[in-house]
Structure 1
């Protein structure tokens, strides 16, 4: 009976296509059924120009371009046509754009986008002013809180600073992320920042929470393995005195992030100092 029922399904349902015969539907058919990526990109362009489901067409086209190693073109396409998309589509476009920046190794662009997301949270503009939002992952829905989202964004920002070898700025960001919503992965990254800065005793304290399974994700095999590798690196390191230079600047950065943690709604109009202070002093911090 089940096989008989499946044979009677409409064509678009069987192939997970939207119904109809519009430019966007034809693009999805070429993408999903014919498996012709280049042909799908051309048809997605036509759908955008025709104003047919522009939100989905632009996002889908960018994803296919990324798969075809045309990430730079996808970035320009999103920048050029996102003003034709609805307000509701902007966040998902940002997510695609961020992945494209990562694909191209554009660290400055990643950092600026992450800072912008933090500004939106600080001013109460994220999640349409609501305390939670519904997210999707691998076909499952779940709720994300503002604090969880802030910690995630700070974790990504810290990682971007690490790729620039700006371990001072990364440390500040990771510490604040851990205060908001601690987990083993960010703890390991914070530990690495401290090792790179020669602050081995502090690094060991951070790492102990992971090794003693005190943090979310500590029992994950990847986190456990990484923690052990960091411990070996610590044991091989020669203890050095911490360099106190730049502490006043770090305190200023921490003060800025403290405001972010304590201000979840736009009750104060002033801008968050962290965004203006990290960038101009990045090179000084890295010295």
Structure 2
């Protein structure tokens, strides 16, 4: 093993060790089995014990759902979340929603999240809440959170193939807080409905830097790719035969058929030609 490889192993071990809580609680043992011993089935047993013991229930339920998904037991993970989410804090409900793998379940949970926002439960009656991303804390407003949840709901409808519902949700999300990423998704939902002119308007807003996030390279690249795909579909659409082309083709085919039904004189057998010639000579 090279020194670089050895360093990489030490770094991995460092990260794993620091993800395992200290102590001998059920949750600590579950995380040790999951991350250190790589015994996923054993970790599920101890995650269950942690939930039943009330030991870091939020984290235990989320981590167990992840491990169950890795073990092809996603259905059990979803059922566990549905059954025990009432034991978890309100702040963890969104993270639990993200652990559900079925589209129908995701839509139901996102709708529930929107109801919690509308009743004030999601923000504990406040107008903002503290969120965390990549280890950093920041304030999120009700308006921003509503737009974000609506964006996730729109994407869930896209995965289900319900592009009309996706369009409706994305448009509502843009009313709360317009951004380039949701504009791209809205454009895609319109393309799926063959409404290319409207889709192009949404992409133009991104490419002309008229929306928040339009300066992000990944978003701009995606908008350009969607525009290219849309133009390709347009070309295919315009290359289809017109009604006049189809009428001419059908008329030509009918003419061939009629000719087949009424054979020309040149197609008659030679014997009939000879009989006709002999009959003409007698008549003379």
Residue pair 1:78, 1:93 contacting (<8 A) in 2 also: no
TM-score, with structure 2 as normaliser = 0.69
Residue pair 1:23, 1:52 contacting (<8 A) in 2 also: yes
Unpaired runs of 5+ in structure 1?
1-12, 240-287
Correspondences of 1:161-200 after superposition (within 5 Å):
161-200=157-196
Residue pair 1:15, 1:32 contacting (<8 A) in 2 also: no
Residue pair 1:151, 1:177 contacting (<8 A) in 2 also: yes
Residue pair 2:65, 2:78 contacting (<8 A) in 1 also: yes
Higher RCO (C-alpha under 8 Å, 6+ residues apart): 1
Partner of 1:250: none
3-state SS of the aligned residue for 1:75?
Answer: helix
Partner of 2:84: 81
Q: Which has the higher helix share?
A: 2
Partner of 2:282: none
Deviations 1:63-87 (A, max 9, x none): 222333322111122223333x24x
Partner of 1:100: 100
TM-score, with structure 1 as normaliser = 0.68
Using the TM superposition, give the Cα deviation of residue 208 of structure 1 relative to its aligned residue in structure 2, in angstroms. 0.9
Unpaired runs of 5+ in structure 2?
1-15, 239-284
The size of the alignment, in residue pairs, is 221
Partner of 1:35: 38
- Do the aligned partners of residues 58 and 183 (structure 1) sit closer, same or farther apart at CA in structure 2, a change above 3 Å counting? same
Correspondences of 1:22-61 after superposition (within 5 Å):
22-61=25-64
Task: Select the structure of larger CA radius of gyration.
Answer: 2
Partners of 1:235 and 1:217 in 2: how far apart? 24
Correspondences of 1:79-228 after superposition (within 5 Å):
79-83=82-86, 85-86=87-88, 88=89, 90-101=90-101, 106-228=102-224
Deviations 1:115-135 (A, max 9, x none): 111122222222111111222
- How big is the alpha-carbon RMSD for the aligned residues of Structure 1 and Structure 2? 2.5
Correspondences of 1:243-254 after superposition (within 5 Å):
none
3-state SS of the aligned residue for 2:124?
Answer: helix
